[in-house]
Structure 1
């Protein structure tokens, strides 16, 4: 660690020394008084010496003093604060940037730059309330509004203040022209989940409607709506909601299939269920709709047709779960059971227990349960059921 620390300060001081030399040389070239140039040069290199000798607090005091004497060192002070933050010494970065913010002789662009750096320091240290105050002030300044608004969105996500997150996301879209509908849709879904958990059905429905307005293809809104209508006993509405979710993104079909089939049964429309599942087999290469259709065929037509259908499907979409179901049907059909079949059944069941059911399409994070926000890369809506995963 000592070796790394020494090299860190060495590589920190080389660019700072270069900048310092340029600033001092430039001022000397402009024929400022020799005494002032000499004083700045001496003070700056004393500060660099403090850094090299692992005395950053003394260095900060000197650099802030230089900043008061010479406005042209402002950029160097900001850069030094950034380096402290990257090294994990956030308290020192805050102290340095706060000292710059407190100066009364800064130009408007310089004040904005210092405030932005200070706000990022607060974010890094977890002082979200202070960061919110800084970025809210910056959001009133046009040239820095996008950066400040983006930071505010992150803060309100961390605090789960979804109303403010929505407001700032919409403002960010207005300022930059960058579409924020998918993100706003997720935030509205968070509100819908909150209202549903509190038993506020109408408020949950209103949030779902706003989520669809923000993102017409929102899968999550359809899933929440389906669950909400299931709880309310509205089976037909639940079927429509779950079907909408699956059509918007067939990769989420395994997530809705079990409650969808339950509501189809409540409605008494197994013919509609078979039609929808057949449609999904054309748009989704996973095994889930095939297994659901196989189960319906077994109930309505018997084991043999169901086994024949599944066998044909597995030729085009091989699946461990499909093979496990085929073994079950083979045994149920009364065919001569063999030790090989039983062994294969045991092996496939063990593989199913160990395998993840969901994976993030961005970072590859695997999980047994679903997350709307990936715990690893923090991206929204990227954790999806694997193609061979089905809950029946």
Structure 2
């Protein structure tokens, strides 16, 4: 009899293992059934526009099934795009408290910060972003979001403090943004100080350093040129302006009037205008070159040059200049030509002067920061038939 009991022990153990395994499978299947039931219930609430109940139902699943985080991120982003920031915040806050891998947790923290920013909670958003600004995969996106916050709160000095983080990226747009905000900070500081010789030199050196550090940006050199012109330092102003024209010839409409104040030599001025006119077809350069030809050659040479240029590259402003030249040469037709010129003036008065190359925003006023897409140095003088 004891021998029989001994033989039955393996059978009993096997039976216990089998029943235990079936019990675990049963619990697992039951858990999955609950997840499926809650998920289906949540989706039904969504489909029937009962979003609050849907969120409560779906958030219950997070404690059970953390592997579906991408689904919740997509749902929260959908709410944020719709403007339902409170719902997006609730989902991201719930996800934020889960124990997740570092990179995934940082991504959720970044999304939560964007929710706070959209809801106008800038301090909360900044606090979260500052914690992850050194994260390599997210650094560029986090810096751009932080810069948006600093522009909204007018705390550009905080952006300047992040210069070392910007240098760790390859982003040209971030460097241009930082250069603009740093320049704007310097301009504001200058207004708060008495304009002594030491302050003037300090400000000029700071602008020059920014221009050297961020050659991709236009604004530091532009402000340097304007400031040095006010101080009658035409050499520094001329160097800065010529550097911008070489990099951004499309900005010539705004730069050439400043260069006129630098009193360039006649031949040097002619070479500059000829290059911009022939290679870039810049309207402002063509108009100034026409005036130079009229002064140094003859009115007939200037008019012929302008007529040939208008035929090759039609432009309303060049046509307007041609009308003015014809009025001077033909007093008999002056009245008729004057009437035509008035119509041209009325037409040009209604046209935009600048356009954003990023979003297409159009305006008659120059902006360093596009009011539409919030990109720095993308609003430029327009070209074409109505261009300058």
Instruction: Give me the TM-score of the superposition, normalised by structure 1.
Output: 0.77
Separation in structure 2 between the aligned mates of residue 217 and residue 81 of structure 1, nearest angstrom? 37
Q: CA deviation at 1:134?
A: 1.0
Question: CA 1:118 to 1:362, structure 2 compared with 1: closer, same or farther past 3 Å?
Answer: closer
Question: CA 1:95 to 1:389, structure 2 compared with 1: closer, same or farther past 3 Å?
Answer: same
Q: Is the 8 A contact 1:192 1:203 kept in 2?
A: no
Q: CA deviation at 1:287?
A: 2.1
Separation in structure 2 between the aligned mates of residue 51 and residue 99 of structure 1, nearest angstrom? 19
Separation in structure 1 between the aligned mates of residue 348 and residue 355 of structure 2, nearest angstrom? 15
Q: CA deviation at 1:256?
A: 1.4
- Residue 117 in 1 paired to residue 111 in 2? yes
Alignment RMSD, CA only? Answer: 3.3
Match 1:374 to one of 353, 370, 375: 370
Counterpart of 1:132? 126
Question: CA 1:291 to 1:376, structure 2 compared with 1: closer, same or farther past 3 Å?
Answer: same
Q: CA deviation at 1:359?
A: 2.1
Match 1:57 to one of 52, 77, 86: 52
Q: What SS does the corresponding residue of 1:263 show, helix, strand or coil?
A: coil
Question: CA 1:226 to 1:154, structure 2 compared with 1: closer, same or farther past 3 Å?
Answer: same
Counterpart of 2:9? none
Question: CA 1:358 to 1:337, structure 2 compared with 1: closer, same or farther past 3 Å?
Answer: same
Worse-matched range after superposition: 147-156 or 293-302:
293-302
- Residue 84 in 1 paired to residue 82 in 2? no
Separation in structure 2 between the aligned mates of residue 197 and residue 270 of structure 1, nearest angstrom? 37
Deviations 1:95-131 (A, max 9, x none): 222123234x445445334322211211222222211
Match 1:276 to one of 266, 272, 279: 272
Q: CA deviation at 1:339?
A: 5.4
Question: CA 1:332 to 1:159, structure 2 compared with 1: closer, same or farther past 3 Å?
Answer: same
Separation in structure 2 between the aligned mates of residue 144 and residue 238 of structure 1, nearest angstrom? 39
Q: Is the 8 A contact 2:328 2:334 kept in 1?
A: no
Counterpart of 1:20? none
Counterpart of 1:5? none
Q: How does 1:147-162 map to 2 (within 5 A)?
A: 147-162=141-156
Deviations 1:297-327 (A, max 9, x none): 4455664444344334434433222222222
Question: CA 1:122 to 1:294, structure 2 compared with 1: closer, same or farther past 3 Å?
Answer: same
Q: What SS does the corresponding residue of 2:112 show, helix, strand or coil?
A: helix
Q: How does 1:1-392 map to 2 (within 5 A)?
A: 31-33=26-28, 36-103=31-98, 105-168=99-162, 170-174=164-168, 176-179=169-172, 180-195=174-189, 197-198=191-192, 201-216=200-215, 218-264=217-263, 269-270=265-266, 272-299=268-295, 303-337=299-333, 340-387=336-383, 389-390=387-388
Aligned residues: 358
Q: What SS does the corresponding residue of 1:336 show, helix, strand or coil?
A: helix
Q: Is the 8 A contact 1:218 1:245 kept in 2?
A: no
Is there any run of 5+ residues in structure 2 with no aligned partner, and where?
A: 1-22
Deviations 1:256-278 (A, max 9, x none): 122221332xx7x4554334323
Is there any run of 5+ residues in structure 1 with no aligned partner, and where?
A: 1-27
Q: Is the 8 A contact 1:304 1:333 kept in 2?
A: no
Max radius of gyration: which structure?
2
Question: CA 1:178 to 1:77, structure 2 compared with 1: closer, same or farther past 3 Å?
Answer: same
Instruction: Give me the TM-score of the superposition, normalised by structure 2.
Output: 0.78
Q: Is the 8 A contact 2:252 2:282 kept in 1?
A: no
Question: CA 1:275 to 1:135, structure 2 compared with 1: closer, same or farther past 3 Å?
Answer: same
Separation in structure 2 between the aligned mates of residue 54 and residue 313 of structure 1, nearest angstrom? 63
Separation in structure 2 between the aligned mates of residue 139 and residue 338 of structure 1, nearest angstrom? 66
